[in-house]
Structure 1
Amino acid sequence: MNNKVFGTTFAALLGSSILFFGVTQAGTYVVNEVIFPAKDFGDQTYIGPFDVSNLPEEEAAVTIQTGVKGWFDQAQVKIKVQDAVVPFPLEVVEFNTNNTLTSAEDGAKNELQFDVTEDSVGTFLNQQFSPFVFSDDEIISATEAIRVQLASGRKDQTIDISNALLSTNTEATVTDVTFDSIDTSVGLQNLVLALDGYVIDPLTTFSLLEFIETADVGVVTEQDLTTVASILYASVLQTNFGVGERSIGPTVPITVPLGFEATINRELGVDFVFTNPNSTTFTLNLNTSGTSLNANLTGLPFVYSYETAITDREEFKPKTIKQFSSFVDQNTIRIKTEGENGVQVSVLKTIISGDDVLETINVSKDFYPPVHKVEVHPLTVPAPPAGTGTSTGGTSGTTDGSGTSTDGTSGQPSTDTGDGSTDSDSSTDGTGTDDGNNSDNSDEETEPQYDKGGNLIPSSK
């Protein structure tokens, strides 16, 4: 082969190689930059909790996948329906890397994309929240709610899907309490009318004192407020509501069942306060019938049921307190205060799921001290001191002035002969006389005077 042919052949091969390489590179460029362009994330770019700022897409994918793997190992996700909170199995959740990267935007906080099937969510709901009947639409709505919450990538979270269940699970009466033998006063009727139909919003706190300040309830007494607060307290105990403030009175309640009293005192600021921790609303309904007061709450039913019980009743007998007064006749006892037994009871709240007892809570221990019996007795006149003379005839003798006894005599006792004179031995020196007219030659005899405490009032003479 001569040099000319070799040069021509070499040039042709070289040109073909260059053309092929160029086409190849051009094709790669078109694929990577035009058809499937590679992505580099800019500053301040986050996907879930993971920082992918200034990372190419491939490195960002590795960062996210590594982070999500750790998330699956540590995350604790729970599903909440009203009062029930149940762990959600992450085995039914899959992370979608492609959707996560392609939907991410530069310089923004982006979400993670998880796939959760409606079948797996439906099975979970039907197994864990059996009192509810879930429609297809509710399962779809619940699945979407779970996806949205998982997208944040938080390791510990509780997903409340209660509102997703309102389409077919209609409101029902969730509590029902009746107090009998109450005083249906005008004030109580006004208070019942003002509270009937009151809506308890989600995640809000109710205060009875704040309510009566803003509502037109007219004139109501402390007893009216205590009766209503007590039936509200009994209703709250049948729910998962939290009690923020509740007090009892000093004596055993008469019209309110023992263990359910919630006393109100506006002057001292004693209030009744409770909180609705749910994401759904409840409506309070109150009405009276004769001497009965009924209260109930309507709303989305609870998963669990709540029962209250009054246990460990113990009574304490009162003591008797004796008082003395000069205004009480001899041999007479006046009862100032009738005694009343004191009482102590424990209030228990049991949370039940189906036939299983989940928890028993000691709500309170209410103690009412006994009311002691108070007796008022007459004053007893003190007995004369030893050696003091006494008159046997009802008259007062005199002495030589050396002393005066409680009955007006001193020295040796005088003896009344009945004729107005005394025996010659009526005094130590024979000078004391009794003329039978209750008089003394030197001083006029008077009846002894006592103060209200039973003490002798000295003579002014």
Structure 2
Amino acid sequence: MNNKLFGTTFVAMLGTTVLFFGLSQAGTYAINKVVFPTKGFGDQTYIGPYDVSNLPETDAAVTVQTGVKAWYDEAQVQIKLQDAIIPFPLEVVEFNTDRTLTSARDGAKNELRFDVTEESVGTFLNQQFSPMIFSDEEIVSVTKSIREQLASGRKDQTIDISTALLASSSVETAITNVSFNNIETSVGIRNLMTALNGYVINPKSTFSLLEFIETADLGVLTEQDLTTVASILYASILQTNFGVDERSIGPVVPTSVPLGFEASINRELGIDFVFTNPNTTSFTLNLNGVGTGINASVTGFPFVYQYETTITDRLEFQPKIIKQFSSFVEPNTIRVKSQGQNGIQVTVFKYIKSSSDIIETKEVSKDFYPPVHKVEIHPLTASAPAEGTTDGTTTDGTVNPPIGIIDGSGSTTDGTTGQAPTPTNPGTGTTDSGTGTTGTGTSNGGSTGSGTTTGDDNNEKDSEPKYDKGGNLIPPSK
């Protein structure tokens, strides 16, 4: 009886406990899900670069806010407009936590939401990119582009607003304008200029002149034609922020293009002219003839900075005189085979300006053209050796023929060149040795050489006079 009562009471208490536990859990669920619902995120959920997988919304908010705070401390955001890159002030950027969390989706990569006002962006543009003027439409477009780029949460990024501005503006201007005067425009030059006129240089693209002429039917083109056109292109490109990848000069001072701007082309040696457009906007080449010269310009979206080139540090080097000898030149006459030309070295500098202030100076190149040496042809003279010599050396120490001739090729040991004169053989003189007599002989060259010989050493010693201590002559022994 007691056991039955105990069992009944236990079951009643257990049921009551389960009931109260279920009601409490249901109440908690109702409060969390119905009265005060709390959002959570599932697997593979990211907000910006931050992983919020399987985190409730409150924890996800803490994770994202902590990451964004560190981003403000470390991030470096720059705004690029054509050729100018300026740091963007992060103090005008405000992070919107609520909009970021409410727009995030489970299992996806979500963006951060930053608020940047159009007023702050307009102030930044007008201050940093003066004297350029920005319309309200352009400021709205740039503000939208900055917000979109910041949404990734990258710490180091450069936001290029050139495309955003170009999309809202059709303004294109002549960025460069270069003329070469007194140029004899051949048919090849005119054909090449016609083919290049209107050529579009695409964003981030490279132009090669040799590759271009391979794709176009331009008729006969000489190396001088190509060099002239490449040179005016080079001079024009120097007035932009384009990069020059390949450019060479010729072996002699140019006469058809200005000094410092030559871009020599040689198809046989593969010598090319190559440059690259580093911008996100396109540009157009324009070439045409103007009177007795040619003109080149580049049109496109304007740059922030101005580019100027100058030629400085001009040095000249005198040529040497190379002497050659020839039997065909009359005596006392010097024939000039080549007049020679001074060597020249010039340095090309590029100045990058903001308004009238120089903000950077770059040395573009140092062009050196070696001197062309003067060549003189002298008469070939061959005088007989002076009297009393047998080896062709005169009494004043000079040598005839000229010193330095080492073979019959005309080269000399002092760096000059010339035709070797016909050598003259000195007299050798034949003698009757050991007899103590004097003899004469005739050399191969026809000159007569003389010489006195004596007997052997013993006879020579005996024949020498001897004196005693008092200075008296001692008679020779018999």
Normalising TM by the smaller chain, what interval?
0.7 to 0.9
* Residues 266 and 327 (structure 1), Cα distance of their counterparts in 2 relative to 1, 3 Å cut: same
Residues 9-35 of structure 1: CA deviation (Å, up to 9, x unaligned) = xxxxxx9xx99x969965x74564358
Partner of 2:126: 126
Do the aligned residues in 2 keep the contact of 1:225 with 1:264 (CA within 8 Å)? yes
Match of 2:373 in 1: 372
Contact 2:80 2:159 in 1 (8 A): yes
Superposition deviation, residue 137 in structure 1: 1.2
Q: CA deviation at 1:289?
A: 2.6
Counterparts of 1:102 and 1:37, CA distance in 2:
13
Partner Cα separation in structure 2 for residue 97 and residue 90 of structure 1: 17
* Aligned position for 1:316: 317
What is the rounded CA distance, in whole Å, between the counterparts of 1:141 and 1:29 in structure 2? 47
Deviation at 1:160? Answer: 0.6
Amino acid at match of 1:113: R
TM-score, normalised with respect to structure 2: 0.75
Amino acid corresponding to residue 403 of structure 1 in structure 2? T
Q: Which ranges in structure 1 are unaligned for 5 or more consecutive residues?
A: 1-14, 390-399, 413-461
2:471 paired residue number: none
CA–CA separation in structure 1 for the residues paired with 2:134 and 2:23: 62
Distance 1:411 1:238 in 2: 80
> Which one-letter code corresponds to 1:334 in the other structure?
R
Q: Deviations over 1:62-114 (max 9, x none)?
A: 11100100000111101111111111010110111112112222222221111
Aligned equivalent of 1:459: none
Q: Which has the larger displacement, 209-218 or 276-285?
A: 209-218
Q: Residue 176 of structure 2 aligns with which residue?
A: 175
Q: Deviations over 1:243-300 (max 9, x none)?
A: 1111111111111111111111111111111111111110000001332010000001
Residue 411 of structure 1: CA displacement? 6.5
- Code of the residue aligned with 1:135 in structure 2: it is S
Contact 2:112 2:151 survives alignment (8 Å): yes
Contact 1:84–1:304 (Cα < 8 Å) also in 2: yes
Query: Where in structure 2 are the equivalents of 1:56-75 lying within 5 Å?
Result: 56-75=56-75
1:62-461 equivalent positions in 2, closer than 5 A: 62-166=62-166, 167-168=168-169, 170-384=171-385, 386=387, 403-404=442-443, 406=445, 408=446, 410=448
Structure-2 separation of matches of 1:383 and 1:148 = 98
Structure 1 pair 29–369 and aligned structure 2 pair: CA distance change class (3 A): same
Counterpart of 2:132, as a letter, is F
Structure 2 Cα separation of the partners of residues 36 and 286 of structure 1: 73
What is the alpha-carbon distance in structure 2 between the residues aligned to residue 388 and residue 115 of structure 1? 106
Q: What SS class does the counterpart of residue 71 from structure 1 fall into?
A: helix
Distance 1:139 1:22 in 2: 59
Residue 382 of structure 1 and its aligned partner are, at CA, apart by 3.7
Structure 2 distance, partners of 1:253, 1:31, is: 90
Aligned mates of 1:25, 1:137 — CA distance in 2: 56
Letter in 1 for 2:130: S
User: Which aligned segments of 4 or more residues in structure 1 are displaced greater than 6 angstroms?
Assistant: 21-25
CA distance in 1, matches of 2:336, 2:138: 70
Distance across 2 between alignment mates of 1:225 and 1:36:
79
Read off the aligned partner of 1:282 and give its amino acid letter.
F
Give the residue type in structure 2 aligned to 1:125. Answer: L
Aligned counterparts of 1:411 and 1:218: Cα–Cα separation in 2? 75
Identity of aligned residues (%): 70
Distance 2:106 2:349 in 1: 57
The 10-residue stretch of structure 1 (92-101 or 330-339) with the greater mean CA deviation from structure 2? 330-339
C-alpha distance in 2 between matches for 1:245 and 1:217:
23
| Structure 1 letter corresponding to 2:79 | I
- Deviation at residue 36 of structure 1 after TM alignment: 6.6
Give the SS at the match of 1:318: coil
Following superposition, the deviation at residue 217 of structure 1 comes to 1.9
1:42 equivalent in alignment to 2:81:
no
Paired residue for 2:417? Answer: none
Question: 1:333–1:378: 8 Å Cα contact kept in structure 2?
Answer: yes
Q: What secondary structure is seen at the aligned counterpart in 1 of 2:102?
A: helix
SS in structure 1 opposite 2:267?
A: coil
Which one-letter code corresponds to 1:189 in the other structure?
R
| 8 Å CA contact retained: 2:440, 2:449 | no
> Residue 25 and residue 48 in structure 1: after superposition, are their counterparts in 2 closer, same or farther (change >3 A)?
same
Q: TM-score, structure 1 length as denominator?
A: 0.78
1:452 corresponds to which residue? none
